[in-house]
Structure 1
Amino acid sequence: MKLKLGILDQSPVSHSDSSAASALINSVNLALFAEETGFHSLMYSEHHGVMAYGSSSPELLATIVLSKTKRIKVGTAGIMMRNYSAYKIAEWTKLLGTLYPTRFILGLGKAPGGLKDAVMALNNHKPVILSNLETKLEEIIQYIREEKGIYNGLIAQPVDLKDLPEILWLGSGMTSANEAAHHGIGYSFAAFMNSENGKSVTETYLKEFDETQYASKPSLQVAVAVSVAENSEQAKRNAYGMAYQFLQSRQLVSPEPVLPTEMIEQRILGTEDEEEFFTILDRIITGTSQSVYEKLQMTSEKYQTDDILLLCNMYREEDRMNTYKNIIENNK
């Protein structure tokens, strides 16, 4: 079965370069490649105050890429809602939905997008209220749908969208799945973060989806981390840098630019972090071109969706591109 393959691009910065500018150029080049070779979508992540990733504004990067492409769907994965007002998110979403109808995807997340200092700075150094995120989602939907009764009929420009933009709720657990289903929006499940009970989470979303809300049918996307090389061992070693960034994020440490495998081995082997690191590494789908594609097909069957989002951060940009090239060639 042919898959709807997308790319989750975090604009990774490599330790060999340590340049956000290079990472952003790589992102634009990757977008043009994805458009040309038949990828279904491109999604851009949001991170603040870290050296590991080049972009802090997925909505701006998505806008640039939309202007340079004609076919591919482009979106945010996601906008970290606690940092912005519902009104402003709705405004620029409707702007992009007007200029690029049916192509822009609003991906929304509840994670902070950075460590404490960055989140405080984004919120004018005021404590962040976490309990109102679902309420904020409801407000965004009301503004986009131009429903009456919110703030005395306040509108979010531009009005009268021909097509409502697709909305994706990002998550990795049962709470986010239920929220997406309740509001009738799409759900992007981060399997690279939590694959243990993923099937029950996504089944809940599909079962509980409310067709009377924002969209008439469920839209399930599954995000996985991948690494392709000439042999399985090399593919796994190429993924060390990505796995180490995941480890740092889990430990609430600011992720570093993608490090070379040898440096990570020096840091990890024989330490208390070794077991956790290799557990994270095993969650990444690695192997040869054919074996990885077969695993993606199995992922599709497991989660009952053909919409698979691929994350690949590599120390060498050519290894990252090689992974995407090999996977899309197998999908034709």
Structure 2
Amino acid sequence: MKLKLGILDQSPATMGGSAASALKNSLNLAVMAEETGFHSIMYSEHHGVEAYGSSSPELLAAIALSKTNRIKIGTAGIMMRNYSAYKIAEWTKMLSTLYPERFILGLGKAPGGLKDAVMALNNHKPVVLSNMETKLEEIIQFIKDEEGVYDGLIAQPTHVQHIPEIMWLGSGMTSAREAAKHGVGYSFAAFMNSENGKENTDTYLREFDITQYFSRPSLQVAVSVSVADTIEDARRNAYGMAYQFLQSRKLESPDAVLSPEVVEQKILGTKDEEEFYTVLNRIIIETPGSVNQRLDEIAQKYNTDDLLILCNMYREEDRINTYKSIIKNNR
């Protein structure tokens, strides 16, 4: 089965590298993704950490859109707790007007950073988490030029010819039901939490309300992947990404992607060694000849053809090789 493949780009910085280099790599990756046949590339949002170069995925998406012609480009996602629904709707409508049918608005409820960063983004005021679904409703109203909480207020540009795709990011049942309720796409973060994943995605497909934003469901599954000529090389190339996942699980600020040798020095013989290898084993680790069969199995499991691929590696050439190997064998 030919899959609709996308790239989840976190603009990973590497040990000894810089955020500037990470952002340059992200733009180069977008051009490569279009040339090789990827369906989309989506940029993530992180604040106050060395691990990731992009704090403004909407800006990165805008620049990448200007450098490409066909590929869909979006955010995965905008961390809603940090911004007003009105402002999100305004720049979303601008990008949808300038690049019709190419921009995807991915929205998430995660903080996007540790406590200090979130407080700074919100003018040192506590975040009200209960209003995330309300923000989604307001964004939809502004995009569709509907009357909402602010009667008579418009979000320019009005009368967008092609309203943008909206993807609601999540890894739990609540997010799946919210996406279904409002008729938007659901991007399930399987690389974060594959437990009960099938139950969540089945619920989204079953409960999707065709009378809301879109008339049919759009289910996407995000997975982490490492591909190399040998399984051993693919496994070692994934060490830096797995170590970042481990740090995030422990609510620590992730390091820039470390080399396999440095990760081994930090992990072997420590109390975190067993958990690290548990996290590592959740990454899809394959060779060019086997990776697409594995991706097909995942697509069939979740009843979707839309997969978003995350790959953070110490060497950029290894990351590029993973993406090229996947798209080359997608037949």
- The alignment's TM-score, normalised by the length of structure 1, stands at 0.99
Q: Deviations over 1:18-76 (max 9, x none)?
A: 21111111111111000111000000000000011111000000000001111000000
Q: Determine whether 1:238 maps to 2:237.
A: yes
* SS in structure 2 of the partner of residue 182 of structure 1: helix
How far 1:270 moved relative to its partner? 1.8
Q: Which moved more, 1:264-273 or 1:20-29?
A: 264-273
Change (3 A) 1:278 1:91: same
What's 1:268 paired with?
A: 267
Query: Secondary structure in 1 aligned to 2:271?
Result: coil
**For residues 196 and 124 of structure 1, what CA distance do their matches in structure 2 show?**
36
Q: Within 2, Cα distance between the matches of 1:99 and 1:150?
A: 27
Q: 1:233: how far off?
A: 1.2
Distance in 2, matches of 1:149 and 1:138, equals 9
Which residue in 1 is equivalent to 2:37? Answer: 38
Question: Given that residues 3 and 308 in structure 1 are in contact (C-alpha distance below 8 angstroms), is that contact kept between their aligned partners in structure 2?
Answer: yes
SS in 1 for 2:70: coil
Aligned partner of 2:66: which letter? S
Q: Distance in 1 between matches of 2:225 and 2:143?
A: 34
Are 2:82 and 2:121, in contact at CA under 8 Å, matched by a contact in 1?
yes
Range that drifts further, 261-270 or 33-42: 261-270
Asked if 1:64 is matched to 2:63, the reply is yes
Question: What letter corresponds to residue 24 of structure 1 in structure 2?
Answer: L
Q: Would you say the 8 A contact 1:48–1:118 is kept in 2?
A: yes
Give the Cα separation in 1 of the matches to 2:178 and 2:169: 10
Partner of 2:2: 2
Aligned identity (percent) is 76
| C-alpha contact 1:48 1:114 (8 A) present in aligned 2 | yes
In the other structure, the counterpart of 1:251 is 250
Q: Which residue of 1 aligns with 2:166?
A: 167
Which ranges of 4 or more aligned residues in structure 1 deviate by more than 4 Å? none
Q: 1:149 and 1:22, CA in 2 relative to 1: closer, same or farther beyond 3 A?
A: closer
Does the residue aligned with 1:43 lie in a helix, a strand or coil? strand
Q: Report SS of the residue matched to 1:36.
A: helix
* Residue in 1 that maps onto 2:14: 14
The amino acid that maps onto 2:12 is P
Secondary structure (helix, strand or coil) at the match of 1:106 reads strand
- Which AA in structure 1 matches 2:127? V
What are the superposed Cα offsets for residues 145-203 of structure 1, whole Å, 9 maximum, x if unpaired? Answer: 11124312211000001111000000001010000000000000000011121111100
Could you tell me which runs of 5 or more consecutive residues in structure 1 were left unpaired when the two chains were aligned.
none
> Helix, strand or coil for the counterpart of 1:188?
strand
1:108-147 alignment runs, 5 A limit: 108-147=107-146
1:225 corresponds in structure 2 to 224
- Aligned mates of 2:18, 2:170 — CA distance in 1: 29
Q: SS of the counterpart of 1:153?
A: coil
Q: 1:145 to 1:238 in 2, by over 3 A?
A: same
**For the residues of structure 2 that align with 1:184 and 1:258, how far apart are their CA atoms?**
37
Residues 1:309 and 1:166: Cα distance change in structure 2 (over 3 Å): same
Q: For the Cα contact (< 8 Å) 1:229–1:235, is it kept in 2?
A: yes
Work out the CA distance in 1 between the residues paired with 2:110 and 2:39.
Answer: 25
1:102·1:165 contact (CA, 8 Å) conserved in 2? yes
TM-score by length of 2: 0.99
How many angstroms apart in 2 are the aligned matches of 1:56 and 1:149? 29
- Partners of 1:194 and 1:203 in 2: CA distance: 15
In 2, are the aligned partners of 1:192 and 1:225 still within 8 Å (CA)? yes
Mapped contact 1:233–1:287 kept (Cα < 8 A) = no
Amino acid aligned to 1:103: R
